[in-house]
Every structure is written in structure tokens, then in C-alpha cells.
Structure 1
Amino acid sequence: MSHAQDQQLERLTFFSDAVFAIAITLLVIEIHVPHPADSSNEAWLIALLNLTPHFVGFILSFVVVGALWAAHHRVFGLLRRYDPAIVWPNLFLLMAIAFMPFSSALMSEHPTERVPEWFYTGTLLVAGLLQYRLVKRVLRPPFIKEGVSEEMILVLRRRALALPAMALLSGILATWWPGPSNLPLMLMPLIVLLVTRMTKPVSVEPVTATEAE
């Protein structure tokens, strides 16, 4: 990869990391410090207990955004050349990520209501589909590093389907059980691990020509 291409790829990666970092930080800003009526221990405990949906929403959204960043980091680490065609698919994914703090706050404020749950899972569904589209666009020759097997590419594509699948399932469950319907999203890391083990990739890192010898 030329120096100019190297710079372009680094700039795109750094910009993406910055958006992920800002979005994941803004999640906690939506948890406002309580102001109980008095300073008794009971009042403080009740005030903190009332924030439980916000804490749960923060942890859930942190895990989701963190998983999206980890996948983005993993996929971009397999690139050896800059591809201008990935700029806009990457930007659309970042747009969904930047929107996450709002949808997470809405769901946390109304954890047992259907529409906020649908809105939240809909946001995750869009983000998951945009991630899958980006993965498909990025992982193609001649832009990926040598030694990246078709099996590894298949694993990464299947892993990218975990979020949209769990988001869709959570949205359906929210029709009857808003709140507990988020359980499939909490299980997403286990689903990703299961998909990875079922596919059984030969290697998780590209094999260079020197290592092959």
C-alpha cells in the first residue's frame, strides 16, 4: 500500500474510532444524577433504584456499541489497501452509531412501553444491517491482506448477522413483553461465539508468506 493510501485508510479508521468513542461516552450522559427530596439513606436508595432501567440500558447499549466497534476494528485490520467505495457505507454505519444514545435514552426512560422498545430495536436493526453491508463491501479482493481465507471471511460475515437477527427477535418479543424482550440482545455475545465455533476457522489472523514457509 502506498503512503497516500496508508494515510487515507488511517484517517478513515481514526475518524470511525472517534465516532464510536463519542457515542459510547454519550450513553452515560443520559443517566442524570438524582436529587431526592431529603438526604436520608432511604431516599437516596429509592432514587438510585429508580435509575435501574437507565443503568440496564447503559450496559446493554455499551455492549452493543462495543461489539460493533470490535467488529469494525477486526474487519478494518484485514485491509491492506484503501478502497474509496467503503467511505459512504462506513459513514452510514457511523450515523446509526451516533444515533444510539438517543434511542437508548428513550428506551431506558420507558422500558415497559412497546413503541420505545420498537424504536430502540429498530435502531439496532438498522445499525446491524449497515454493519453487514460494510463487512461485505470491505472484505473483498484486492483490498484485503494476503492469507485471509474464504473461511475467515465467511465467519466475519456470519458474525455480522448476529445483531440484526437479535434486534429483530427483540422487536418481535416487545409486542408482548416489552422490557424482558431485550434479553436476546444481552445474549448476543454468546450467539457470536457460537457462530464462530460452528464455522471453525483455521486461523483468526492472516498468514503471511514468510509464516507459510
Structure 2
Amino acid sequence: MSGQAGGGQGGRTEVIGVVVGLFQENTFLVREPAGTHAVVIDPGDEPEKIVRTLTSNGWEPLAILNTHGHLDHIGAVQELKERYGIPFLLHEADEPLLRATPDHARFFGVPVPRVPEVDRYLNDGDLLRFGRLEFRVHHTPGHTPGGVSFHIDERLFAGDTLFFDSIGRTDLPGGDHDTLLRSIRERLLSFPDETVVHSGHGPDTTIGRERKSNPYLGTDASADSQ
């Protein structure tokens, strides 16, 4: 899973997706235009696989950005923090989920990952700059209280908020169905139809496709977003 999009002067922003772990979670590596600096979004597991992908492409990560704090999205954070000496950013409302990672791992019967410390809390509207990369933070709670989406160029990294033909679960700790739908309709569907959505699991989609066809959003999704 990879692709490119326009992103500043002298080059293109490149995205590589790395599927990791038992939950088949999508970790995304985003490289700056005309350079080698990158960020890692949602490193969920298999840190060695993520490192190999970065190394083979000659990319140097500057930060770890997380859309939310669930177990399957944070499992490789601590190893990457230590290897590269880079900060980990998460919304403060998901700190309790992060701290509960050992309990969640035992519940799902998976190995308990090392729980990282958050270096900086994310807030709605933040503009994050790393090298030539600029991400806008959009608070999109519902799947978790501190869920966020990252916007860069014509791309949204939406975590587990919106999927191809589906939406995020709300039966896990911190989930709220009405809040999730409001986040999607009022925040994500406000983006143009051609916006690519990189989800936390499964294939990429677009805002236009989900506006038109997502069965969980109803036939009035287009009207809601106007």
C-alpha cells in the first residue's frame, strides 16, 4: 500500500503503508517532498518491519503521530522512540486508554507491549511541522475520546474513524456511536470528494466514495456535509 500526492515545492509527498500485527493494522510512513525526513503514523506492532521499510527507502523519521491510543495502534511506539530518539504525539483524552494497554492486551490474549510516555499532546486545529511536512490535526472522537485525523495535501489519515464501506467500532472502551457519526459527518465529510482516506485497517478509500456509498452513513450523508 503506497502512493504519492502533491506536497510543496520541488517534489511530492510519498506515503507507504505497512500492515502489521495480529490485528492487521495499517502503519503509515509519510515522507516530505524532495527530502528524506518522514513521520510514522500509528506504529501498531512489528517495529522491526517498520524499521526495515524506513531503512530500505532511506527515510529518517522525525516524529510518531497517533490517531488514537488503542492497543493495536501503539505496540511499536516505544521501540521506535528509543531507536530514533523521536517524540510521540497523542491527544490527551486517550491517555487513559494508553495506560490501560496491559489490561486490553490480556483481554485479547496478545503479548503486552511496552507502554510509551506521550511527549506532546495533540489539540484540534494544531498545525504540525516536521521538515517539509505540514499536518493539520482534526479532533474526531467517537471510536475513542481522543481520536484525531491528520490532514496533509489531499489526504486524511483517519485511524479507525472511517473505513471503506464502514465506520469505527464504538463497543470498545471510550467509544460512542453518536459522537462518531457526528465526527464523520461534520468533520470528515467536509473535505472534498477527491480526498484520499488512509484508514487504520483495510484499503484506502475517498471521501466521495464514502459520502455516496457508505451504508453506515445513510442516504443523507451528502446533504449533511453541505
User: TM-score w.r.t. structure 1 length?
Assistant: 0.25
Whichever of the two has the greater Rg, that structure is 1
The answer to which structure has the higher strand fraction is 2
Q: Which has the higher contact order (CA 8 A, sep 6+)?
A: 1
User: TM-score w.r.t. structure 2 length?
Assistant: 0.24
The answer to which structure has the higher helix fraction is 1
